[in-house]
Each structure stands twice: as structure tokens, then as C-alpha cells.
Structure 1
Amino acid sequence: MDYGCFTVEEIDLLEFTFSEDDKLLQTINLDVFAENTALSSENVSIEMAKNETEPPKKRFETTSNAEMEKLFEARQAPNTKRNTSWGSKIFQEWNLETNGCLMDMETVEPLVLANSLGRFYCEARPQPKKSQSHEYTEEPHLYHKNSLINIRAAINRHLADLRRDIDIVNDKEFKTSNGILDGLFKERTRQGLSKPTKHKAIIDEADLRKIYSYLQGAKTSPIILRQAVWYFLAVHFVSRGMEFHHQLQRNSFEFHEDESGKYATLKHDTLQKTFQGGLTSNDDQSTEKRMHATNDPSCCPVELLTLLIEKTDKNASFLFNQYFRDSAIDADKWFAAKPLSKRTFASFLGEICTAVGVQKKYTPHCLRATAITYLNDSGFEARHIMFMSNHKNESSLRYYNRSVSSNQKKSLSKTLSSMASASRSPTPRVQNENTALLPIPVLANVNMPPPIPQNIELTSNVVNTQEINPNAGFFNNSSFSNCTFNFTK
């Protein structure tokens, strides 16, 4: 180190001072390092203690036994549970009257249960009905065939609820009791005691026109607007008019537009009788269904749905709500944020029919039956109808396809009358499982056009049937376009 002009004594003094300062700095640095090391160790200890007190985050949820039992009970709809309770109660009432005690369904042996069921099917009777004079009627009172089958299914569900590995419908131990039930139905049919099944009525065309004319006043009345939206949603989504509408919310629909115009679709699935969303349920296709706009400005289903949403309080969660009784026609809001109860929808169609003077008593299910019947009579295939109705298989669909409209019944009667009077020859008709009744051409005893030489191909864009023998089978009153005919001997 160069100290310049300092003397030797001064240089020695400076070097001593600097060396002492370096030692002091080193000491300070060592103290700071030791303090930092202690702090780091302390932080690590605190962090480790913190991790030990806080449990690690779990990937899986914890479910209690009570919650699992609740989920097990949720596999059945409320109506199914009530039906199970009803059928089981009838069986236990029979046990109490016949055997003097209730049957322990949790421990009863299958063979004992099978013997009891065989007797129960024969002896089961409903409560006698009272006439208007409050006296019991003397006519034989028997359970309908469907009611007994329903009771058997209810008992079977009750056993499943008790975790019993017993199936009174399919197990071999119950083959005899089921045979007794089958024979009972056949014997009652022979004796004329079997009552026919009452199918849901099909709404007549004249009544449908009255209803549509009434709904055209929807834009001037909150009552009619609410009824109209309920009606068109029941028709276009082929619902029963109760459980479906009760689940609809104010934001349940999306509105789209294509080359054919505007249409509305559902944004979410809905629980229905034919779709419960369980393991055995097929994918619900409600969100694929469309309700298209029509050319009637006074009764367009899409416009009325939009108007109902606009006239409903923004705080409302559900689509159908109570209306303000003192609301003016030009008011911004017609409906409050108070949803309708589920049972209210059951009376909608009856109220509409009363307003238009329809005498017949129709239920909301009649509207569904009418929609399915109209689709069938219009020639739609079963798979297309099942897409709209949410049926799982075609056998369920035949329940509706058996229904016959008033016009069809009249036509059938006239045809049979012509047979009885031999007034005209019948027109062959063919019935397809998947389509409606469709007429087919009469090919017997027809006058075909002159034969064409073999291997000659006749090609024509349009064939004018007026130039052909008018009695020539399928050429009669027919026109063809872009067709190729091959005639061979």
C-alpha cells in the first residue's frame, strides 16, 4: 500500500488501525451470519410445525352413512314411493285380516311369501264404493287387472327397499303364484268381469280449433299468455303438462335462427316419467328438440315464450309465476317472482276447455296422447316419435298408437257398413308397426298399358298420366318425375 508522504511512525500507526478495523468487520460479519442462520432454522421449524397442524388437502370427498342412505332412497321418484307404500299397505291389511298379524317382510321365507301371494291375488278386494245415497253398492267390486299388477310391483319394490334378494315377478319360487294370477285374469275374462283399460282420450280436431282460437288472445291477457305458453310447450316437447313445466326456469331456453326462421331449444335436461336420469335411463334428448316459430303473429309459440319471459319479474327463478291481478295490458311486468305450485298445472287444460265451451273433460296427459297420435297418423316413423316422447322402446309407444280418433272411428264404421250392405268393394290398407295406416294401390284386375319390347328402357322426366288409361292401377291420378321404368315380360 502506498502511503505517499507519511513518515514511518505514521505508517505503522495507520496499518495497525486498518488491521483492527478488519478484525472488527470480520467479527460483525460472523455475528450477522450466525443470527441469520438461527433465524433460518427457526423459520424452518415454524413451517414444519405449521404443516403438522394443518391436514393435507384431500382429493376425495367424505360421505356419511346417512348421506348414502339418502342417495339410495333418491333412486325412486316421489310418486313411485307413494305407490310402493300403497301396494304394501294393501298386502299387509290382507295379512292382518286373514292371518291376524302383519307379515315380517324382512325375514319371511320366499316359499311362505309365495303361498301367501297366491291367496292374496285371489282374495284382494278394493274398498267398496258408496253411492250418492251413502249406501254401499251391491255390484261385484274387483281390482282392475292393471291395479293387481301394480300392487305386485309395489310389493316387489318394497322387498328391494329392505335389501331382500327376492324377485316375486321372476324368481322360480314364485312361478306358481304368478300362474295363479295369470289364471285369475283369464277366468274373469271368461266370466265377463274383466274391465277394459281406459286409455287417455284423444282431443277432437274441433276442440283443438276452439282451443287455438282462444289462445290467439294471449298478447292481451296475462292469464291466456301463461296458458298458451304452457300449451305450446306441452305440444312441442310432448310432455304430460305437469312435471316438465314445473322444472322450467326463466333461463331454461335458448333462442336460435336458421334459414327456416327462429326456434327455441332447452338448455338442460328435465326429469320426467320416461326419463329419471338413473343407470338404466337413456340419454335425454330434450335439449335437441325444437319449437319453431309459425306465421301466425297472434299465436306464434316462440314469440309468446319470449313475451312471457319479458313480462316476468327479473328476480323470478322459474318460468311460470303468479300474475299481478291489477296489472295493465301495457305494463312492463305481468308476472311476479312467485312460482306456481306443481298441482296448478293439472288444471290448465281444464280451465282452457271451460273457457272455450268444450264439454269433454281432458287432462294434460290427453294432450301428450294427442300429439303422439297425430305424429303417428302423419306417417312419422317410431324412432322419430320416440325422439319426441322420450319412450325407451316401441312397445311402450304402441299404447298410444292403439288410440283411434273420432274421424278414424267414423271411417272404420262406414267401411264396415258398406261391407254389411255389400255396397262397394273394400280398399286394401296396410298397417305398419312404425307408421300410420296408409292406403296402397289396387293392383288386381287392372288394365296395364300395351307391353313394351323386352330389354327396352323407357326414360322420361315426366309421365303425363292423362295420356294413359285412367283405370291403369297405380298410374291412375299419379305423376312421376326423374324416374326410370324397366318393363320385362
Structure 2
Amino acid sequence: MTRFVNTSDAEIEELLEGRNSKNTSNVISMAVKIIRDYFEDMAINISVEDLENDSNEKLNLVLRKFYAELRKKNVELYSKSSLISIRYGLQRHFLKLKGVDIINNQEFKSANDVFKACLVKVKREGKGETKHKDVISEEDREKMYSTGVLSTSAPSTLQNKVFFELLLFFCNRGRENVREMEKNDFQICIDAQGKRFVKQNISRLTKNHRGDTADSDDKSPRMYEEPGNERCPVNSFEKYLAKLHPDNKWLWQKPREGFEEEDSVWFCNVPVGKNTLGNMMQKISKEANLSKMYTNHCIRATCISVLDECGYEARHIIGLSGHKSESSIKHYASCLNESKKRNMSTAVSSKVLSVTRKTVAMENTTANFEQLDFLNDIDDQYLMNVLEQPVMNTKPRPQNFFTNCSVTINYNYNKD
């Protein structure tokens, strides 16, 4: 009996398709469908299959015209991110079936020039902005804890806390692999200094890391304990694990409605649904009455933004976040959080208002000096006589300095 197995071409093809994440596969399918619809609506006598066998020159000409005429079903322009996704999908499709890269190959320069011009047009018409996920503000982060929404005293709020902190410290992408998490995926360990931390035992496939030879298994983040801090994430996680239903392997279980603190089990033998987990941060936002409705992906954005604010280099941050390149997180570094925006506004206001106050002070001073016009009536000879009189008291007097104040001079003058 041989240890090897026979594999059909279809099975090999399925194996190759499995390399792509679900999102990537959807992008490719969407892009191919759009260009098929384009050929049909524009009555162009050509098919995608024809392009797979035609010359690169002809494919370039077709793409050049396709990019210029591409519109949504309501005849509006696609957004910048949608255009980039469509071209990326076509790139992956023709790279696989034709062996040609329609983005980086110089034979497609004219088509890509038209594509870039389309991006400029989209931006000119106000559709070029890419909407990134909001970073959870410092005030809202504090509010989550202070309102009790992340309390450890009840099943639902304890789950909220563990959910938020796991996604935060492990920089997890919004919905990715959350439903598939199991209790045994995580472990509480002790490092060489005797400090406890939570680590992830299993490295699951993600959008950017598909388990190929370029991936490293030594990139798992750690969530360390905070001794003496009532919000310690390790203590919360440890309590959460202890209260889970022992007969259920899933990490996210439905919280029991009726419970007692001393109960050994706080959760039902039923896993939380995928959609419920996908909307967890929205649920937390509503319960804590936060300033806006955040999504799960906002937790990831918050992790990257906080690390950037703390001065960590991009090469270290992507080691935790799982991004493939430093350029992928540039927008997090360039975004200003609410606190910075507020401080910058205050700085500008203080400078402008400071100038205004000085101007007002000068205007008041001018007005006060205008009240001394009576000095113009004093006889010059009289002033000379006053100045020539000897100083009777030469004892040094204390010097007083006044700023930003009005000075009133009472002078009794009798010309006779």
C-alpha cells in the first residue's frame, strides 16, 4: 500500500484556489463579471475567454477603453477603492489564465495611464476619498470601562471586555476568524521575568497570510497582565475561561440571562452567531453611548494608531498587525485622533486670541493716553523750571513694572 494519493486535475485546481482568501476570490469573480457585463451592454463581440488567448496588444487596447467607459449600474462613477479592486481582480485573473501582469507589464502602459486618469477624474468629482475605519477616541475608550459595559461582574459585560481586549492586543481584523476561535486557541503563560501573558496557540489563515513559506510562526502578539490594575486583561480572560460551558469548545458562547456570581458556569452550551460577533463593537458602542457607532475593525485601527502614537516603528507594528508592508499602515500614522485635533485647534485659537487681546490692550492704552492731551496746554518755560528744581529726596524707590493694565495719572496743574 502506497503512502501517496492519486489527485485529479480538478482537485489540484481546488487546492490552488484554496490559496486565495475568500475576499480575494470574491474580488476576482466580481471583476470578471463586470467586464463580461461591459462586453454585453456595449455590444462588443468579444469574450473574456478570447482575451485569454489574444495578444497582449489587443488586451491592452480593450482594457484601455474599458477603464474609460466603466460605470456602475446607475451610470455613476465607481469610487477610487472600487476601481482599484476591479483592476486588481482582473490582474489576478489574467495572471492565472494568461500568465501576464496587466498592472506591472510595460505592454499595458497605455491602459494603466488611462486608469490613472480615471482616478484623477474620480477625485475631481468628489469620489476619490478612501474611507478608513475610525480610531476609537481616548474619551470613548475610557467611557467603555467607566460605564460598566466592560465590567467583569456579569456574563455579557465580561464577554464584551474579553472580546474588545483580545481584538485590541492581537490586532485582529474585524470579522476574520472570530467565529472560529476555540477555547484552546489561547493559553496563559509566564515569561522569564515571571510575568503572565496570553498568547495564541494556533495561527489561522488570514487575508494577508495564507500559510506559505514567507510566513513566520513567530509573529504572535502577547497580552500581558497589569498587576494591581482592576482592568487587567489577563485576569479578565482567566475568569472568562473559567466561566465558559465545559462541554462547548467555542470561545464565544451565549451568555446566560440568569446567573449568580458564585455560579461555576455563566454561559450556555450554544456558540454566539457569526453576525452577532461581527456586530459586537456596534453593540458595545450603543450600550456605552459612545460618540459614534464603531465597528470591530475600528479596534484594529485603534491598536495600530496607539502603537504609532507611542513611537513604535512601522516595521515592528506590521509584525503584530500582520500587514504585508509598512505602506499599508501609513494612513493610520497620518490620521489625527480627536485629542490631537482638539489640541491643535486650541493652539491655533490661543495664538489668535492672544494677538487679539494684545490688540485690544493697545487700543485701550491709546484711548487712555488720549486723555492726557491737556499736557499740550502746559507752558514750555514752566516745564523747564520744574525740571531744573533739585531733587529733594534721593532715596532709591522700588521699581514697579505693570503689564496689561491701564494707568491713570492725577496731575493738578495751576498755571498761575
TM-score normalised over the length of structure 2: 0.77
Measured after TM superposition, the shift of residue 375 of structure 1 is 0.9
Deviations 1:219-263 (A, max 9, x none): 322111211111010111111242143332111222223445321
Work out which of the residue numbers 137, 141, 144 in structure 2 matches 1:211. 144
Q: Which residue of 2 aligns with 1:96?
A: 40
Work out which of the residue numbers 145, 150, 155 in structure 1 matches 2:80. 145
Work out which of the residue numbers 117, 137, 148 in structure 2 matches 1:183. 117
Change in CA separation of 1:332 and 1:93 when aligned onto 2, cut-off 3 Å: same
Whole-Å separation in 2 of the counterparts to 1:96 and 1:419: 62
The amino acid across from 1:263 in the alignment is F
Q: Which residue of 1 aligns with 2:176?
A: 243
What secondary structure does 1:207 align onto? helix
What secondary structure does 1:291 align onto? strand
Greater Rg, structure 1 or structure 2?
A: 1
Work out which of the residue numbers 51, 75, 83 in structure 1 matches 2:19. 75
CA contact (8 A) 2:135 2:337 kept: yes
CA contact (8 A) 1:270 1:286 kept: no
Q: Which residue of 2 aligns with 1:430?
A: none
Q: Which residue of 2 aligns with 1:154?
A: 89
CA contact (8 A) 1:92 1:102 kept: no
1:201 aligns with 2:134: yes
CA contact (8 A) 1:346 1:364 kept: yes
The amino acid across from 1:314 in the alignment is P
The amino acid across from 1:72 in the alignment is L
CA contact (8 A) 2:199 2:222 kept: yes
Measured after TM superposition, the shift of residue 400 of structure 1 is 1.3
CA contact (8 A) 1:285 1:390 kept: no
Map 1:446-461; keep pairs closer than 5 Å: none
Q: Which residue of 1 aligns with 2:28?
A: 84
Q: Which residue of 1 aligns with 2:101?
A: 167
CA contact (8 A) 1:275 1:284 kept: no
Measured after TM superposition, the shift of residue 415 of structure 1 is 4.2
Q: Which residue of 2 aligns with 1:366?
A: 298
1:319 aligns with 2:254: no
1:262 aligns with 2:196: yes
Measured after TM superposition, the shift of residue 322 of structure 1 is 2.2
Whole-Å separation in 1 of the counterparts to 2:150 and 2:345: 38
What secondary structure does 1:219 align onto? coil
Q: Which residue of 2 aligns with 1:482?
A: none
Whole-Å separation in 2 of the counterparts to 1:146 and 1:226: 34
Measured after TM superposition, the shift of residue 296 of structure 1 is 5.4
Whole-Å separation in 2 of the counterparts to 1:108 and 1:419: 65
Change in CA separation of 1:421 and 1:358 when aligned onto 2, cut-off 3 Å: closer
Whole-Å separation in 2 of the counterparts to 1:415 and 1:78: 47
The amino acid across from 1:272 in the alignment is T
Which ranges in structure 1 are unaligned for 5 or more consecutive residues? 1-56, 129-139, 425-489
Q: Which residue of 2 aligns with 1:65?
A: 9
CA contact (8 A) 2:171 2:320 kept: yes
Deviations 1:20-39 (A, max 9, x none): xxxxxxxxxxxxxxxxxxxx
Whole-Å separation in 1 of the counterparts to 2:85 and 2:195: 46
Measured after TM superposition, the shift of residue 407 of structure 1 is 1.7
Map 1:251-330; keep pairs closer than 5 Å: 251-258=184-191, 259=193, 261-279=195-213, 281-287=214-220, 289-295=221-227, 298-330=230-262
Whole-Å separation in 2 of the counterparts to 1:273 and 1:107: 31
Whole-Å separation in 2 of the counterparts to 1:187 and 1:196: 12
Whole-Å separation in 2 of the counterparts to 1:127 and 1:416: 46
Whole-Å separation in 2 of the counterparts to 1:360 and 1:335: 29
Measured after TM superposition, the shift of residue 217 of structure 1 is 5.6
Change in CA separation of 1:175 and 1:270 when aligned onto 2, cut-off 3 Å: same
Whole-Å separation in 2 of the counterparts to 1:90 and 1:420: 54
- Aligned-residue identity in percent: 29
The amino acid across from 1:375 in the alignment is L
What secondary structure does 1:178 align onto? helix
Whole-Å separation in 1 of the counterparts to 2:73 and 2:226: 51
Whole-Å separation in 1 of the counterparts to 2:111 and 2:351: 46
The amino acid across from 1:185 in the alignment is L
Q: Which residue of 1 aligns with 2:70?
A: 124
Q: Which residue of 2 aligns with 1:346?
A: 278
CA contact (8 A) 2:203 2:217 kept: yes
Give the count of matched residue pairs.
353
Change in CA separation of 1:313 and 1:403 when aligned onto 2, cut-off 3 Å: same
Whole-Å separation in 1 of the counterparts to 2:204 and 2:68: 40
Measured after TM superposition, the shift of residue 111 of structure 1 is 2.4
TM-score normalised over the length of structure 1: 0.66
What secondary structure does 1:265 align onto? strand
Deviations 1:37-71 (A, max 9, x none): xxxxxxxxxxxxxxxxxxxx434343333321221
Larger RCO (CA under 8 A, 6+ residues apart): 2
Which ranges in structure 2 are unaligned for 5 or more consecutive residues? 357-416
Work out which of the residue numbers 47, 53, 61 in structure 2 matches 1:107. 53
The amino acid across from 1:390 in the alignment is G
Change in CA separation of 1:290 and 1:61 when aligned onto 2, cut-off 3 Å: same
Measured after TM superposition, the shift of residue 116 of structure 1 is 1.7
Whole-Å separation in 2 of the counterparts to 1:399 and 1:327: 45
Root-mean-square deviation (Å): 2.6
Whole-Å separation in 1 of the counterparts to 2:242 and 2:8: 44
